[in-house]
Structure 1
Amino acid sequence: MSKGSVPDGQLMKRCREGDTSAFDTLYGRYRLQLFSYLNRLLPGQTAVVDDLFQETWIKVLKNVESYTDKERFLSWAFRIAHNVAIDHIRRNSRRESVPVDERLPAPEHVPWESMDREVIKHKVAEAIEELSVDQREVVLLRQRGVPFKEIAEIQDVSINTVLGRMHYAVKRLQKELGEYR
């Protein structure tokens, strides 16, 4: 939020009063973060992500009364996006993934310094895709600087569960990406 901009809590209050421009401001402020979050949570599913993104914002608008100033708007919106994504995953238990032929081949013992940055980014993204949805979500939210306490609220689990998910995600990523250290 830049200096002089209206705080999220005030915008939500105005949304409750029917001010559509307040909603437009929140949408403009956070749309990229929420879209990116859903896109990374469900990689390779662009059409699904578009639908879930719209569903998330519809639920934000429908649930404007349940928002309290005690929580950050973005954490609250991430929780809604999380629930929308989890509901989708439960409905479609078979996870669609990127076809194998679209993935880059694994390099053979190439030193870190000489590797192309794009290849490394791709390998990291692939490794993150292979995590469980819960672990992937923790990693992605931490990448965005969301505190563990807020991640626990978003996932509706204890902070210890979130810390455990992060621990196992890091272990798995270290195992998968060990050759790039």
Structure 2
Amino acid sequence: MFEPNPPTDQPVNADPDQVLMLQYASGNARAFELLYSKHKGPLYRYFVRQIYDNQLAEDLYQEAWSRVIKAAANYQAKAKFTTWLYRIAHNLIIDHVRAKKPESSFSDTFEDEQETEFVASCLSESPEQLLQQQKKALLLKDCVKDLPQVQQEAFLLNIEMGFTAATIADIAGATVEATKSRLRYANKGLKACVDLKWQEVEYD
């Protein structure tokens, strides 16, 4: 089953990876090798961080590349290759989670509050201090696991991959505003979770 063509919000000239993908579609195997080498590490981590099962993450990772290969003949360079690649990965994870959980688990549940931009760091008010403390880093990792799936994905794509809210929205098939809300609530929830767990550690 081929993936849908990439969205149309990015110019072709902005993405060298598109050129490689088009070259691969024309029969250049070396072009695919270059794409694979560049994206294999981040893409694999994307699966591992959300699946927490190395074997299943490996299976989904291989399936993602299989879909890239199958879609090559119909590929159109209308968006950044990375956005298209992670949209394929996103769809695989959604299919996996939906097979295990009811559809309602994908809904964002936000409490009512004044409309403000939550710009504070997702780690703490002083990110450097948090990163210097191994225990808090481990607490953060545990807290990320407890986030709702849509918030977790948005957080990981933003923090680990450096994707903007607009790019994450393209990947997840959501609006930019919804994506900003997911990031805002993920940041807020992670800070509260780490603070609470840190207090428990201090009192042990």
Counterpart of 2:187 in structure 1: which amino acid? V
2:96 is equivalent to residue 93 of structure 1: no
Once residues 174 and 167 of structure 2 are traced to their aligned partners in structure 1, the CA distance between those partners, rounded to angstroms, is 10
Partner Cα separation in structure 2 for residue 78 and residue 177 of structure 1: 28
**CA offsets per residue over residues 124-177 of structure 1, 9 Å max, x none?**
010011001110010001112101101000000101110111111112112101
Q: Structure 1: where are the runs of 5+ without partners?
A: 1-5, 95-111
Counterpart residue number, 1:18:
27
Structure 1 residue 66: Cα displacement: 4.7
Structure 1 residues 19 and 176: alpha-carbon distance in aligned structure 2, compared to 1, 3 A threshold: same
1:52-101 Cα shifts (integer Å, max 9, x gaps): 0000100111122454333211111111111011111112339xxxxxxx
Indicate the residue corresponding to 1:70 in structure 2.
78
SS of residue in 2 equivalent to 1:157: coil
Distance 1:115 1:157 in 2: 31
Q: 1:28 to 1:126 in 2, by over 3 A?
A: same
C-alpha distance in 2 between matches for 1:49 and 1:41: 8
- Normalising by structure 1, we get a TM-score of 0.79
Deviations 1:28-74 (A, max 9, x none): 1100010011111112x111001000001001111224543332111
CA 66–142 in structure 1, closer or farther in 2 if over 3 Å, else same: farther
Of 172, 177, 183, which aligns to 1:155? Answer: 172
Q: Which aligned pairs between 1:75-86 and structure 2 lie closer than 5 A?
A: 75-86=83-94
Distance between the aligned counterparts of 1:160 and 1:116, measured in 2?
33
Deviations 1:85-128 (A, max 9, x none): 1111112339xxxxxxxxxxxxxxxxx97997332211101001
Instruction: Kindly provide the amino acid, as one letter, of the partner of residue 60 in structure 1.
Output: V
Aligned to 1:48: 56
Equivalence for 1:121 = 137
Quick one: percent identity of the two aligned structures?
A: 29
| Contact 1:67/1:76, CA 8 A, preserved across alignment | no
5+ residue gaps, structure 2 = 1-14, 103-127, 200-204
Distance in 1 of aligned mates of 2:130 and 2:80: 42
Distance in 2, Cα, partners of 1:68 & 1:139: 28
Distance 1:65-1:133 versus aligned 2 partners, 3 A rule: farther
Partner of 1:33: 42
